[in-house]
Structure 1
């Protein structure tokens, strides 16, 4: 059983790594900013939603490793230059964001209040995605951009934080709708790749 679960884990790690790559290809430049609007944080949210913590972390980390050897996987860019460029702070935050989303989702799936009330579940899922898949990435992303550009904190926030808040919120809403709509599948996938029994399977929305 453990070996079967390990194989499933590898399959889903690869699948969600591919999903992240595809969603990274959706890029919209905002004005003259070199920080594009992408669906990367939505991919991070979905990865953490469906996968257990270790698998969610590894799924995004694999993309970074492949990028390091030259594959153009981040918005069509790759190589060490991408991983040390202006967006590096965000890139290296993504595996940890996926990890945190997965941990929080696992806790939510065990929370009785969310099991019994869809509105509570919706609000908590949204908070998880907004906090861990989006806002957490700015913790390292903005300081690294400040280091690269020499911008002050207020100027960096105006250029690379405030303009993206609405888009981040919309992506969190989309992830939340998926979470509520696909909960039985989420529980099944997370349970099928676990090496130990989990009571997440008792969740029912």
Structure 2
């Protein structure tokens, strides 16, 4: 498969933005508040399923290769961090959002918000069970699944829903302009 230079640049740009989002954080005991989800969701909306997926794969791949671009560093051993599941969730998230938005005929708030919420649900669907498994199995600290939900979802859901609304609102303003300019390969009906 061949990629255009523009596509490679956009994939790298959104991988870099996601990395920047990791450094814009508020530390908390297990899962810090970050802006990674924001840039991951924008990757899905603006790049579509395939390129959005590639941007998050690139981000995770660079971090696993040893470049410290995750919230707590990098390297292959990062897979044993309780928060690594959220990074895997970002890969699913960008793909889901891209798949559900790339063929939208009309870019309205609800048409974008629901796919972004579905992508957010994927982040939590992968991240919270991973957190639970790593804490219980690898770290050997007993934690119920409900405790994992209370630690890995409850404190962040309001912020992430607000970020989802921001992504949807921004998309309603930006995507039509990008379509008219021919920069976004989203089909119009």
Give 1:100's match in structure 2, choosing from 74, 96, 101: 96
Structure with the higher helix share, 1 or 2: 1
Partner residue, 1:162: 154
Asked if 1:10 corresponds to 2:8, the answer is yes
Alpha-carbon deviation of 1:48? 0.5
Partner residue, 1:127: 114
Alpha-carbon deviation of 1:185? 3.7
Contact 2:46 2:175 in 1 (8 A): no
CA offsets per residue over residues 143-194 of structure 1, 9 Å max, x none? 1111122221111111111111101111101101110110224433222xxx
With 66-75 and 5-14 compared, the bigger mean Cα shift is at: 5-14
- For residues 186 and 83 of structure 1, the distance between their equivalents in structure 2, rounded to whole angstroms, comes to 37
Asked if 1:23 corresponds to 2:21, the answer is yes
Q: Which structure's CA Rg is the greater one? A: 1
Contact 1:21 1:73 in 2 (8 A): yes
- For residues 123 and 20 of structure 1, the distance between their equivalents in structure 2, rounded to whole angstroms, comes to 24
Partner residue, 2:139: none
Partner residue, 1:194: none
Partner residue, 2:140: none
Asked if 1:40 corresponds to 2:36, the answer is yes
Contact 1:179 1:186 in 2 (8 A): no
Contact 1:83 1:91 in 2 (8 A): no
2:4 match: secondary structure = helix
- For residues 58 and 77 of structure 2, the distance between their equivalents in structure 1, rounded to whole angstroms, comes to 17
How many residues are treated as equivalent by the alignment?
181
- For residues 111 and 19 of structure 2, the distance between their equivalents in structure 1, rounded to whole angstroms, comes to 27
Stretches of structure 1 lacking an aligned partner (at least 5 in a row): 116-120, 192-197
- For residues 72 and 150 of structure 2, the distance between their equivalents in structure 1, rounded to whole angstroms, comes to 26
Alpha-carbon deviation of 1:76? 5.0
